[in-house]
Structures are given as structure tokens and as C-alpha cells.
Structure 1
Amino acid sequence: MTNAGRLGSLGLMAHVPQRLDPDRRRRRLELLAALANAKTARDHTQPQRLRGARIRELIASRRRLFH
């Protein structure tokens, strides 16, 4: 008896990747592109937000020292 016989029909199907229908594939690619764009936008705005927070903290600490 071969390995394929012991594995049954699911054993053979596991090696064949399932194809998505064209509309689902297109929507999936659009979603992945939108997620990548959102991550890029967030990465660009995050340093500015952190820089602003650091500057505010420096101003607050200087006020505490001199007042």
C-alpha cells in the first residue's frame, strides 16, 4: 500500500493550493494594499507625534526648573 493510500483523499488535496476566484483575489489585494498604505502613513506621522511630545516635556521641565 502506498503513502497516498494511507493518507486518503485529503492527503493529496493538502498539497494543492486553493485558487481564489478573481473578484475575491482582487478584493484581497486591494485590502492588503490599503493596509500597507495605512502602515506607511502611520510610520510617517508617528515620529512627528513623538517629537512633539518630547518638545512639550522639555518645555514643561524647564518651566519647573525656572519657576
Structure 2
Amino acid sequence: MGLTCEVGAGSLSFVWTLQRLDPERRRRRIQLLSELADAKSVRVRLAPRRARGDQLRDLIALRRRLAG
């Protein structure tokens, strides 16, 4: 749903009206929001694993610098 603002000629009052999205657009929007939620849940689930990998790479790089 989208909000539109209509202003009458010479009037400072705003009239907010709610527009219904057409069914196809609404379906695509729901699908997109669902895919975004799925992507976020995957990111949150993999974050600790990625952080451990980053930490190990940093430690390996540090050891190589100290050894070289």
C-alpha cells in the first residue's frame, strides 16, 4: 500500500489517501520481502562462522609477518 498526498488549490491542508497495490505488484513485493528476510537469516546464522574464519586468517597473516 502506498500513501499519496493531495493538496487542494490554494489550500494548505493535506489529504492523505491510501492506494491499494495491484495484485501482481503486491505479490512481487511480498516475495521480495520474503527473500530479504531469508537472506538476513542466513547472514545472521553464518556470521559467527565467518568471524572465526576472519580471525584465523588474521592470525595466520600475523604469524607469517612475525616469522618473515
Task: Using structure 2 for the length normalisation, give the TM-score.
Answer: 0.61
Of Structure 1 and Structure 2, the greater strand share is in 2
In structure 2, give the amino acid aligned to 1:26: R
Distance 2:40 2:18 in 1: 29
Counterparts of 1:3-42 in structure 2, within 5 Å, are 6-7=10-11, 11-12=14-15, 15-42=16-43
Count of equivalent residues = 61
In structure 1, give the amino acid aligned to 2:25: R
1:25, distance to aligned residue in structure 2 (A): 0.6
Say which structure, 1 or 2, has more relative contact order (CA 8 Å, 6+ apart): 2
User: Which residue does the alignment assign to 2:49?
Assistant: 48
User: Which residue does the alignment assign to 2:5?
Assistant: none
Distance 1:33 1:50 in 2: 26
Of Structure 1 and Structure 2, the greater helix share is in 1
Distance 1:52 1:5 in 2: 62
Long gaps (5+) in structure 1? none
Larger radius of gyration: 1
Identity across the alignment (%): 49
Cα RMSD after superposing both structures:
3.0
Q: Give the secondary-structure state (helix, strand or coil) at the position aligned to 1:17.
A: strand
Distance 2:10 2:18 in 1: 21
1:44, distance to aligned residue in structure 2 (A): 1.2
In structure 2, give the amino acid aligned to 1:39: K
